[in-house]
A and B are shown apart, each in its own frame.
Chain A
Amino acid sequence: GEDVEQSLFLSVREGDSSVINCTYTDSSSTYLYWYKQEPGAGLQLLTYIFSNMDMKQDQRLTVLLNKKDKHLSLRIADTQTGDSAIYFCAAKTSYDKVIFGPGTSLSVIP
C-alpha cells in the first residue's frame, strides 16, 4: 500500500543547515508537502512541490525531489531555535488522498 517514511529524530546546532529526508512509495503522487507542527498546535503548511519539479526554494527552505528514487528532502538554512518542531512529509495520491509520514522531530541546540 501507499506509505511515507521519515527518520524520527534530528538534532542540529543553531546556525547550521538541517536536512530532513522522506521517502514515499506511490510513484503516482502528484504533490508532496512539508508541514511543521509546534507543540500543542496543528500542522502548518510550510511548502509543497509538484511532481514535475526537481527543486523549489522559498527563503530559508529548499525542497529537493528525486522522483526516480521517490525521495524528498527539506533543507532549512541557518537553522534557528524557533525551527524546533516536528516536520511532516506528506504525499498526495489519487483524488485528494494524502498520506502523512510519522514526522521528524527537529531539535536545535543553541
Chain B
Amino acid sequence: DAGITQSPRHKVTETGTPVTLRCHQTENHRYMYWYRQDPGHGLRLIHYSYGVKDTDKGEVSDGYSVSRSKTEDFLLTLESATSSQTSVYFCAISESGGLGNQPQHFGDGTRLSIL
C-alpha cells in the first residue's frame, strides 16, 4: 500500500472555527490531491499540488486553502468552517501528471463534522 497518512482521522468542531487537515506521504510523489466525498456526488476535487509551493484549484475550492511547503506534506485548511463542509476528506497522491498512466493512490480519509 502507498504510504499515505491522513490526520486527524476524525474531527468534530464548531461553525466558524479554523480547521487544518494534514496529508503526509512517504512515496516522494510529485502530485498530491484533496477530495471531499459526499453521498451521491462521488469524489470532488478541492485542490491539488504539482510540486512544492505549486498548487491549483479543483472544482469545489471555495472556502478551502492549501499549502505544500515540503514534498511529503499537503495541508488543507478551512479558514472558517461551515456546516456544508461536513464531509469525508481524502488525500491522494500520484507519481506523474500529463498523459502518464500513474493512477492516484488514496489515504484512509478524515471524517469531519461541523456542528
Contacts and interface: CB of A to CB of B under 8 A. Distances in A.
Contacts of B18: none
A103 B96 CA distance: 25
Nearest to A103: B42
Nearest to A48: B103
Find the residue from A33, A42, A48, A100 having the highest chain B CB count within 10 A: A42
Contacts of A31: 101, 103
A8 B41 CA distance: 10
A42 B42 contact: no
Contacts of A48: 101, 103
Contact of A42 (B31, B100, B109): B109
Measured as residues with beta carbon below 8 angstroms from the partner, the interface class of chain B is: 20 to 34
Find the residue from B4, B104, B108 having the highest chain A CB count within 10 A: B104
Contacts of B71: none
A20 to B, nearest CB: 14
Measured as residues with beta carbon below 8 angstroms from the partner, the interface class of chain A is: 20 to 34
B49 to A, nearest CB: 11
Interface of A: 4, 8, 30-31, 33, 35, 40-45, 48, 50, 88, 95-98, 100-103
A50 B101 CA distance: 8
A4 B41 CA distance: 10
Contacts of B40: 8, 102
A45 B100 CA distance: 16
Contacts of A50: 101
Contacts of B100: 96
B42 A101 contact: yes
B22 interface: no
B37 to A, nearest CB: 9
Nearest to A47: B103
A42 B108 contact: yes
A96 B94 contact: yes
| Cβ-closest 7 pairs across A and B | A42-B106, A96-B97, A102-B42, A100-B43, A100-B42, A43-B106, A42-B108
